[in-house]
Structure 1
Amino acid sequence: MNTLSDRPGLGILFICLGVAAISVNDMLIKLLSGGYPLHEIVAARACMGLVITLALVKVEGGWHLLRTETPVLHMLRGLLVVLANMTFYAAFAVLSLAQVTALFFVAPLFITLLSIPFLGEKVGPMRLGAVVVGFLGALVMQQPWKDDLEVSRVVLLLPVIAAFFYAMLQVLTRRLGLTTRASALAVYLQATFLVVAFGFWLVAGDGRYADSVESEALRFLLRPWVMPSGRDALVLLALGTLSGFVGYALSAAYRLAAAATIAPFEYVGLPLAILWGWLIFGEWPGANVWVGCALIVGAGLFVFLRERKKDSPAPGRRRLWGRR
């Protein structure tokens, strides 16, 4: 019997490819963050991504796949995507690529917690303890107890807030994956990005609010739109291509395997973020970031190993979401 949760190998492959594409996407957005507003970057990326995902819908079966009986849930999923992206990318204007990514990687821990009430998955005390250790790692990286922080505590929290919204998004994806193809889920995401980006353009596209804020994170959100140069236009085109692939890959991953199985493999993006930060921006993590990363990754791997042990074949055992 074909189920949504009986193909973990393919789900893991999709999540690894998707996270690798995300790391390149993040690096390119940080490159553009000094001269373009976030909503312009998002709009350009979503236009290209929408074309790609619509083509995938056609390949997977045709336009009828876009019909849905749960429009409210898809709207909620789109809102979560927007909130996760806005809070995550706003931090790029202030924090290093490695630090933002490392703090964001509490998302799999949030997913593990949220899978209990929303997916009915069993999470024992040892995995809950690992989740606590992971969040302690985030605190080590943030060091909120210091009086001489270089950035505000609110900015430090932005990637963690983004991680929570992202975790909600992926848990909801798991629910919607029962009846909706990955390509259709990706189309809904790109359409949401377009609607919100052009909404920002209507309200703040002329930069009328940019001079009234001091935070670089807010300036990144409120700068006026500008015509991209030739090189930057190619970067935006690359972002759109990556966005189309990422939306499909992540949606497919969480349709094909259990959330607690897939989530730890998102840590592939952490060493990639450190690599891009070092090669492109000359950034190297401090000791607190390395210690925090070790705690978060260690907690995530423990959760994964416990999940694999829990999912060992047993006579008469049924998986969650046993029917398509």
Structure 2
Amino acid sequence: MNTAAQNRAGLAILSVLLGVGAISINDMLIKQLSGGYPLHQIVFTRSAIAILFSLVMVQAEGGWQVLKTDQPGLHLLRGATVVVSNMTFFVGLSVLPLADATALFFAAPLFITLLSIPILGEKVGMLRLSAVAVGFVGVIIMQRPWAGEQGLAVSRLVLLLPLLAALFYALNQLMTRKLGVRAKASALAVYIQGTFLLVSMLFYLVAGDGRFIDAGSPDALQFLLRAWVWPSDGDVWVFCALGLNAAVIGYCLSQAYRLADAATVAPFEYIGLPLAVFWGLAIFGEIPAWEVWIGIALILGSGLFVFVRERRKARILSRGIGTRR
């Protein structure tokens, strides 16, 4: 691997670490706000703030012309996948412990590894595929298939929401890789925040007065559809922090996946797992159940194995020796 490629990989890894750190703070703050504000209000406010920061980065990366694209359909589709991923994850997060929701969402790097084969044409050998299978065993354990509905704190549907979010997140990052060859990270971030603004405004027009829920509605549905309220003085600063975090997330993750291949970047997202456990314990007093610890261990272990295999493959290829694993 030449020096330029190594530098790009190093910058990609730094970008994803910063982005995932911001995501962990973002999730903690949204969970804090989920009891009093609707999701579409939170999304609108943070995206309105974030797009201002993103437009500043547009100027730094070349000016307004970097927003021009000849692939508007793919950008729109990418934005839609981010919206679906965020909405489903945050609805689940509002009623699930932070570590549980995050651990289930970390099926995303597993999905990325699998989907990089048909979408990006990347080669993934049997050893890495086996590691992915082990990771999905961890996902199944966290779903507690042996427990009846009465033995679960939430419904099966809610437990599936972080997995659905993970699938759409994986699709988003793979499309970022395809678009990133020609688009700047700042432009990718602006398109994402613009999509969030559009969708949240549509939610407000349809359900902003809380007409579709009542006091007996499930907590997750309340979070999705309750009426907008003006933030308290203390929460105004939380909303501002969310906006700054959203700008960091949108830019850093777009930068990471445009600079390096998905299999190199994705494993570093696992730093979000210990961060979620930390925030869950420190802020909400949540201690993960044994199934979650096992799931975390299997997903983390499989992800690290995939990373080690990818680095070993890169070293072998740099010496001119082929490998099929």
TM-score range, shorter chain: over 0.9
**Structure 1 residue 100: deviation in Å?**
0.3
Q: Is structure 2 residue 63 aligned with structure 1 residue 62? A: yes
1:87-102 equivalences under 5 Å are 87-102=88-103
> Do 1:18 and 1:246's aligned partners in 2 also have CA atoms closer than 8 Å?
yes
TM-score, structure 1 normalization = 0.95
CA distance in 1, matches of 2:186, 2:307: 27
- TM-score (norm. length: structure 2): 0.95
**2:314 counterpart of 1:314:** no
One-letter amino acid of the structure 1 residue matched with residue 246 of structure 2: S
Q: Distance in 2 between matches of 1:309 and 1:122?
A: 14
Equivalent-residue separation in structure 2 for 1:144 and 1:117 (angstroms): 30
Aligned to 2:16: 15
Q: Distance in 1 between matches of 2:281 and 2:71?
A: 44
Q: 2:299 aligned with 1:296, yes or no?
A: yes
Using the TM superposition, give the Cα deviation of residue 273 of structure 1 relative to its aligned residue in structure 2, in angstroms.
Answer: 0.6
**1:214 Cα offset (Å):** 2.9
Q: Cα distance 1:317–1:172, how it changes in 2: closer, same or farther (>3 A)? A: farther
The 10-residue stretch of structure 1 (157-166 or 308-317) with the greater mean CA deviation from structure 2 = 308-317
- Give the match for residue 176 of structure 1: 179
Q: Do the aligned partners of residues 35 and 190 (structure 1) sit closer, same or farther apart at CA in structure 2, a change above 3 Å counting?
A: same
Structure 1 residues 45-82: Cα deviation after superposition (integer angstroms, max 9, x where no partner): 00000000000000111000000000000000000000
Partners of 1:164 and 1:213 lie apart in 2 by 31
For the aligned residue pairs, the C-alpha RMSD in angstroms reads: 1.7
- SS of 2:133's equivalent? helix
Structure 1: any 5+ residue segments left out of the alignment? 319-324
The CA distance in 2 between the partners of 1:205 and 1:28, in whole Å, is: 21
Identity rate, percent: 59
Contact 1:5 1:255 in 2 (8 A): no
Question: Shift of residue 4 of structure 1?
Answer: 7.8
**Matched residues in 2 for 1:133 and 1:59: separation?**
43
Give 3-state SS (helix, strand or coil) of 2:214's partner: helix
**Structure 1's 196 and 3: CA in aligned 2 closer, same or farther, altered over 3 A?**
farther
2:223 to 212, 215, 220: 220
CA contact (8 A) 1:99 1:289 kept: yes
* Residues 5 and 258, structure 1, Cα contact 8 Å, conserved in 2: no
Deviation at 1:215, TM superposition (A): 2.4
Residue identity matched to 2:284: F
Structure 2 counterparts to residues 142-161 of structure 1, below 5 A: 142-147=143-148, 148-161=151-164
Shift of 1:7: 1.4
Q: What letter corresponds to residue 77 of structure 1 in structure 2? A: R
Q: Which residue of 2 aligns with 1:322?
A: none
CA contact (8 A) 1:102 1:270 kept: yes
Identify if the C-alpha distance between structure 1 residues 5 and 183 changes in structure 2 by more than 3 Å, giving closer, same or farther: farther
Match in the other structure for 1:128: 129
Q: Secondary structure at the match of 1:211?
A: coil
Q: Give the aligned partner of residue 26 of structure 2.
A: 25
Separation in 2 of the partners of 1:168 and 1:28? 25
Task: Name the structure 2 match of 1:106.
Answer: 107
User: Partners of 1:315 and 1:234 in 2: how far apart?
Assistant: 52
Which ranges of 4 or more aligned residues in structure 1 deviate by more than 4 Å?
A: 1-6, 315-318
- Give the superposition deviation at 1:145: 2.2
- Cα deviation for residue 316 of structure 1 reads 5.7
* Separation (CA, whole Å) in 1 of partners of 2:111 and 2:50: 27
Alpha-carbon shift at residue 2 of structure 1 (Å): 9.7
Q: Distance in 2 between matches of 1:61 and 1:304?
A: 34
**For residues 199 and 104 of structure 1, do their structure 2 counterparts lie closer, same or farther at Cα, with a shift above 3 Å needed?**
same
> Which of 239, 245, 248 in structure 1 is aligned with 2:248?
245
Q: Distance in 2 between matches of 1:48 and 1:40?
A: 12
